[in-house]
Structure 1
Amino acid sequence: MTAVAGGLMSVAEVTALIGTGELLALAADRAVLTRLPRGNWIAGSTPYFMAEQGGCQDRERVFVQRFGDLQGHIRRYQPETLPEVLEEAPEHGLSVLILPAGSAILEAFAREAPLYPEMYLKPLVGWVAGIAIDDVGSDTAVVVDGRDGCVAVNEAVVLHLQLPAQLVANVHAINLFEPGDGPEIRFPRTGFEVSDCLVDGQPANFAHYLIEQAGAGSLPLVADYCGAMINVSVQAVEANGVRFYAPVFEGVGYRLARPVQDYPVEFLAAMPPRTGPVVFGCNCILNYLNCGLEGRRTEGLDGPITFGEVGYQLMNQTAVMVTLDGI
């Protein structure tokens, strides 16, 4: 693979790059994405980025992830066809998926992705598109298929990349959160919204429990999913219930995470060793907001700041990256 530079670019620079025919994954404010010409690209809406100057909000420029001379194809999926995503992926490749926040297709993916055919056998990464925090309630997250300019609120766009035989895509999920020492929390049913729970076996209202724990709403729940620590982040604490960015699952024991003391420092320490280039990266909006990442860098990983991350399945408050390494 020929090494290429990405990062934040002006609309004019991205327009010229699209004209070359290169396969691209883009991120920008919704209004900016609708100004781009047709071409071989997929995109999602977000005005937040981790760039060379550190974490930032930018509603004029586009974050570009380039894949050099790699070949591939673009697909658009509806909720009923998304389970086919890895059956249609190359046997030796990498698939980059973008889904819109708050959509039925995101909820379906969050619940069902671990059961998709060929899941975990082919590399699948991506992110959840969102909107500026100030626009919540007045705007909607979108994905865009650059081939025809289709702007969708309940579809997914995927870039299926073919890799040369001598390279392999390694997916890395960087999660700095660990279960804290607090009580185990279990939920009676799977879902994005809960009210009742068991706290160390005792019935409780989860919203009331979080309100009693000062600052707990900024920390994710953490659980061991078959050996991997997976976060579920709180979206809103309401009078009698709690909404999450990803579903909690019945029968799984969760604990509130320990706080992260200095995110950029701990992130650098957690970065995986690598020999090949980073071709994809993203980090969570909750890390950006709650860990003070504005103007600070996560060394070694740039990309969109997202409203959920995909490292095979949906994740929260993580960073996901892909390296291309020699076999």
Structure 2
Amino acid sequence: MLIGEVARRSGVSTRMLRHYDSLGLARPTGRTVGGYREYSAEDIRRIFHVESLRSLGLSLRQIVRALEDPAFTPSALVGDLIRQTEERLTREQELLERLRAVDATAPSGWQGVLRIIELLRGLNSPSAARRQQTVLAPAEDMAGHTELLAEAVLTESDPNVAGALRWALARSGADGVASVAAGMRSENVDIRRRAILAIAEMSGDEATAVLADALGDPDAGVRKSAALASGARGAVAAVPTLVDMVVEGANDVEAAEVLGALALAPEYADRIVGALTDELATHPADTAVRIRLTQALVEMPGTIALGVVRQLAHDDDRAVALIASALAGVLEERSGNGSRGAADS
């Protein structure tokens, strides 16, 4: 069969067939009397083999090796093709997301498009320093890009960049809360942890409501971050988690300070002291836990915990007793200073 007929039947152009011939990839085994290329059935079969391998993404050099090298292992090549395809798909997915991000901002002109592209490049840079520098741009440069910042903060692993992103989002008001709050619905616990840390730095009723909901999150890390932030805003619902943090020794100092601030409200004070005292009874033989609970009691305002601390000064555990005795003195001095201040006034 002559080259023109082969081209018509195979769909491979005559130019490409001649290229295959020059590479030794698919050479015709015969020639006519006039010197024209003449392909046998086996030659045509090889052409189809070549085209099949090309459809998998193989280069012509790889095809030559596949068809000619006896030591060639198809599994290794297929593995390489899978990896290359995955990388290509990742790049294309990133491009698609970038285009969607640009489209979502509805830029009015090329300057707007270029600004968004510049921002996306900065936020997606492999350099943490470059990402942080991008986020710390003037507020007017970041205006209207809350969604992009929210997406970035939910995936950022570098603590310095994450801190900058949370700071930038805190300036965006309610729009920032709504954008980041979507991360609280993720099944990925890391995303929820990043989201709650960002929301903890935001003000307003929307942020407070999200923090309150997060107190019931299945992840302890999310609950603890939510408790510290919501407790600092006066949410008594955070008390059980804060007490657990004191018991466990997870950010116990911060938790105790928040409990002390909550106890400034007379209606909460007895409840908080009671919760700490109950934990003392629950852990009669755990020195470390009892010391942390004793220290947390001293954070309570006034002398509302003085009686409990005085009792602990006679605890069977000598370490607890010594610390409680010293702290009872602190509370008594605090009470004395308070009394003198009241008298002087």
Shorter-chain TM-score above 0.5: no
**TM-score scaled by structure 1?**
0.24
- Higher helix content, 1 or 2: 2
Bigger-Rg structure (1/2): 2
